[in-house]
Structure 1
Amino acid sequence: MNEWNKEKEKKILLKYRFMLTMKILRILIVFFLLYVVYMMIVSISYESLHLDRKHAYYSKVALEWTNPNINGDIGGFVDSEITPFLTQKISYPLFKTIGKEEKQVGEMNIRKSLLFSSRPLDNVTIPEDNHFSFSLPEHPKTGDRLKANEDPRVWDTLAKLHEGTVGELAFSTTDFMTAEELIDLLKPYDIDILWAPLYTGEFTVFQPGGWGGGEEISIMSPFGLTGGREIDDDYLSEGQITVISEEHLEENEKMMLTNMKNLLTKEPKRYYEGFLGLDYLKERYDYLRENGFIVYGAVVTGPVKELLKLQDVPEIRGERLGELEYWNWEE
């Protein structure tokens, strides 16, 4: 009969410790392999569904509608990943147009999970002075004429700037006008129209958020017409028009209505309103279809001495000077 001793106990303990270690290692290897397979399936599905491209595209559209002269570049770099908990992380650079060139001014960062999503526009890093507000020319409900907050320093500054400079200028207009009328108004000047605030039924169809009252109604979160952006059904081939012009106006408007319609018909309200932050999208879409594109201002860019000429246009008021850059215009 074998006698029990410390040496034998030690050997048995070592044997079982080794077996236990190997068992744990095998379990860990199995879990690791399962994790690798799981992540491969998740990544392949994520890539095949092009969800990152969809979210990047529509966040760009929402950003450009609600942030004057801020845009995500066309078909540009989009950094995206999906975590094991199915949270999508997407980021891309943001630009604004000054003269004929784009300048990077910030970054968009999106986190979208299956259950909880942060609004893209809540995760934009751009300087505060990149925002403009626009004044309505009259109260849409009563027809009463409204004032605009004037800044006389704008014209003085433009007059003192060297002619070898290009700049960005935002202004409101004394009356509501069609997009065609705005283009005709600015046609004599060597400038580009980048963005125009749209009247989409505020105060008559819905009550907007973020506005100043009294003798002036200043829309702090305007909704505007841009050059236009479109993408194919697979979110792979993207196209963009960067300016609002007579040549492309019909296409600009068609792109905007198509994007609005696609969001309303293909995506749930929690996506375009809860995620993208596009409040009253249905009301705005219906109003634009029924009444056309009515504007009450613009953001333009061009040589500073050309912008200075707008001082003599009686239909322009509430001007705000934006960023300036060295000359990059066409001779």
Structure 2
Amino acid sequence: MINRMTWRTRVKKFINALLAALMVFLIYGMYYSAVHIYHDKSGLNNKFLRSVMTMVELHESGLIVDKRSSSLVEVTPFLTQKKTLNVYKDVGEWQLIVGELHAKKGLWGELTYSIEEQGPYLNRDERNPFYLHSALLEGGKIKDSPHPNDAMNQLEKLEDGNVVELFFSLRTLKSPEQVLELLSGYDVRATNMAVYAGELKEFKPGNYSSSGSDHVIPHLTLRPKVQFGDNHSLSSWHTFFSLDAGITDHVQQLIADVEWMTNNIKYNGVDEDTKRLAYLKKNGVQVYGATVTGPVRELEKLKEEQGFWGFRLGRIEVWNWS
């Protein structure tokens, strides 16, 4: 009799524990579903994606976040948002995947990201290919190029059936319109430009490198315009600049993006971007480098432009140009 009562007590305790575990599981499931629904309906996930796209494309030189992939954002039970996206470059008319972006933001924390590059070569830095010469900081002009045209020598050896990504720096600070005017006589497309926003003159960025009078600095990137609608949802984006369509809208969008970014995102470097924004509002947008893509023979002609220097070769693909 006693053994039977003990067995019944154990069964009852087991059932109670099972019911409690089931209740906890149901409550957790309801909580987790509510978290996902709230983040979707409130626009928090859209805002997170907008933050990631804006931060990466304005700070990484020429990297573009894949905007056609799923907008689904992972939200952990502790309300951390996570997203993995491809990043690519325009080479000719193809979008070449060059890395994988991992972004994360806690409930009250800062937005952080890392990029796993899929570069084909070891020990080759493609993240910042532009040179800012000391003469530009003083409002002057570079009189001669300290760099041989290694990139142009490489282009000469490439066959006609290739398209190339090419970077060049400028001998003087120019407006984006002036750069497009110089490129208008060539069958190439400008995909982004390196913006000068007071670095080393108004303030010193956290990390940069120098070799003689040449500086490689973190900078803002002028990208083709990306627009967001209500609730931070992506509404449209451009793939390259067009002289016929004008570049004013792209420049105005840059100012608006930096303003939105510094006001709405907590991230490492926000203080520097606030200084950049103040400089751009006071002095306007000028650039000191650009990225172009197109047929190899057209890009080779750019060596004749006296205002271009510091050419660097990027990705090379087989012909894909209309």
Please, what TM-score do these two structures have when normalized by structure 1? Answer: 0.88
Structure-1 residue corresponding to 2:260: 262
Give the number of equivalent residue pairs: 316
Structure-1 residue corresponding to 2:303: 311
- After superposition, residues 219-298 of structure 1 pair within 5 angstroms as 219-246=216-243, 247-265=245-263, 267=264, 271-274=265-268, 277-298=269-290
- After superposition, residues 53-132 of structure 1 pair within 5 angstroms as 53-117=46-110, 119-120=112-113, 122-127=114-119, 129-132=125-128
1-structure distance, mates of 2:73, 2:223: 26
CA contact (8 A) 1:154 1:321 kept: yes
Q: 1:170 offset after TM fit, Å?
A: 0.4
3-state SS of 1:133 partner: coil
CA contact (8 A) 2:99 2:115 kept: no
Q: 1:201 offset after TM fit, Å?
A: 0.9
Deviations 1:248-300 (A, max 9, x none): 401111211222222334x2xxx3433xx445122212222221111111110
CA contact (8 A) 2:111 2:266 kept: no
1-structure distance, mates of 2:45, 2:133: 40
Structure-1 residue corresponding to 2:134: 138
Structure-2 residue corresponding to 1:30: 23
1:21 aligns with 2:14: yes
Q: 1:81 offset after TM fit, Å?
A: 1.4
> Structure 2: which 5+ runs fail to align?
none
3-state SS of 2:294 partner: strand
Please, what TM-score do these two structures have when normalized by structure 2? Answer: 0.90
Write the letter of the residue equivalent to 1:283: K
Q: 1:139 offset after TM fit, Å?
A: 4.2
2-structure distance, mates of 1:63, 1:291: 24
- Greater CA deviation, 127-136 or 310-319? 127-136
Write the letter of the residue equivalent to 2:89: K
- Identify if the C-alpha distance between structure 1 residues 259 and 306 changes in structure 2 by more than 3 Å, giving closer, same or farther: same
Q: 1:104 offset after TM fit, Å?
A: 1.3
- Identify if the C-alpha distance between structure 1 residues 160 and 144 changes in structure 2 by more than 3 Å, giving closer, same or farther: same
2-structure distance, mates of 1:326, 1:213: 35
3-state SS of 1:242 partner: coil
* Of 208, 224, 237, the match for 1:211: 208
Structure-1 residue corresponding to 2:320: 328
> Structure 1: which 5+ runs fail to align?
1-7
Q: Percent identity?
A: 26
